[in-house]
Copies of this chain bind each other. A is one copy, B any other.
Amino acid sequence: MKTMKVLLEDHEIPRQWYNIQADLPTPLRPPLHPATGKPVGPEDLAPIFPMNLIEQEVSTERWIDIPEEVLEKYLIWRPTPLCRARNFEKLLDAPVKIYYKMEGNSPAGSHKPNTAIPQAYYNKVAGVKHLSTETGAGQWGSALSMACQMFGLGCRVFMVKVSYEQKPYRRMMMNVWGAECIPSPSNLTQAGRNVLAEHPDSPGSLGIAISEAIEDAIAHPNAKYSLGSVLNHVMLHQTIIGLEAQKQMAKIGVYPDVVMGCAGGGSNFAGISLPYVRDKIHGKDVKIVGAEPTSCPTLTRGPFAYDFGDLAKMTPLLPMYTLGHDYVPAPIHAGGLRYHGMAPIVSHLVKENLVEARAYHQLDTFEAGVMWARSEGFIPAPETDHVIAAVVDEARRAKEEGKEKVILFNWSGHGMVDLASYDAYLTGKLLPYELPDEEIARALRAIEGFPKP
């Protein structure tokens, strides 16, 4: 009988997160205050984040202790198994061994609780009573709802209205976990009312939802704002994935040739890859690949620039690959990958050639996802289908080169509440889409006049 999984016992769970900022050959560029063009300081962020998370955001300590209270919640489903995809390997018929971290078996169905739980915890410790956030497709909003419930915090999620209406199950999940889910734009905030006054039928956007969540957090007594990707402390929390994977691969004496993840805001990709980037910085020969959609090709076609994190220009200017803060993503089905920017840490690593990026067509990603479901059983989230398409691609390359390869990737979430997108694919309703060149020109216009990194 062949081994399919490598497990870690509860007591083997990593006790610290890994902070890549300690090992970067060149330091991260700072976020800038849009008015002054100067780096933002902790005090600029204090109205919306608690100081303990701001400290993590700027820390250069290599290892940061995971609080006991966070570990207790992680242990409900972590450590996650490292699985060998033997059935998928057979299907590909290529000289590859494929291992994946199963992050789809968390209570919220993805890697998102890895940061939702510590964020809720640190806010609670700081005396915060309530968190406001935004969500697109709903993965993040549901994870934070659960985490807030676990630590006795109130939670309000502004969900992009079109998704709120199309994906009622995500809203219901948030309700089961005791959170309020508001379709955005809403009448609860000035930002929402402004949009509604002009466009009563607005379908909403992530940009509007962010503005609403920030305004709501500032207006609420004892409330803060929470973000599920992009920021340094979010990447930090997600490193638990890669740290576990390293322990697990060490147990079987295997080291990956390629480490892969899908990349939207960057958090699940950073989660599996940052500990391997550390190895690479120290001379290890490992290829690290992020997979993104051709419809939102931030890393593969966007400029590296200072840009806002949101449409309403409420965030600092972040140094990142970007399609412009005014980018309206195509309505592809991998909602988690429809973000105009990319985490500054991930952007920095691509810029420094420590990480590479590839873009995949929506149709190819669903084809890969269905191949996976029909061989390995588990139905991946549409986001996860992107990294599976990258694995298929890498296996094809290995076959062409006649080279044996060990691939490790992050199976970031399941597709149980995204089945309508599979249905659209299987019934031929999805069309190929690639970003036209005009959109890149527009992105460049959007960042015109901003400081250059």
Contacts and interface: CB of A to CB of B under 8 A. Distances in A.
Nearest to A113: B377
Report how many copies the assembly holds.
2
A422 B76 contact: no
A177 interface: yes
A150 B377 contact: yes
Interface in A268-290: none
Interface in A372-416: 373-379, 414, 416
Contacts of A417: 169, 416-417, 419
B419 A169 contact: yes
Nearest to A416: B416
Interface residues of A, number: 52
A3 B7 contact: no
A5 B75 contact: yes
A11 interface: yes
Contacts of A1: 10-11, 68, 71-72, 75
Contact of A377 (B4, B83, B107, B420): B107
A105 B78 CA distance: 13
Contact of A10 (B4, B173, B378): B4
B2 A175 contact: no
Contacts of A373: 107, 146, 176-177
Interface in A150-195: 150, 168-169, 172-173, 175-178
A107 B75 contact: no
Contact of A3 (B4, B10, B416): B10
A5 B172 CA distance: 28
A145 to B, nearest CB: 10
Nearest to A169: B419
A438 interface: no
Interface string A303-323: 000000000000000000000
Contacts of A370: 176
A77 B378 CA distance: 9
Interface string A233-275: 0000000000000000000000000000000000000000000
A416 B177 contact: no
Contacts of A2: 72
Nearest to A7: B7
A95 interface: no
Nearest to A423: B172
15 contacts: A3-B11, A7-B7, A73-B377, A76-B83, A87-B150, A150-B375, A168-B419, A169-B416, A169-B417, A169-B420, A172-B423, A173-B416, A175-B426, A176-B426, A417-B417
Given A76-B87, A172-B423, 6 more contacts: A4-B76, A106-B377, A169-B416, A169-B417, A175-B422, A175-B423
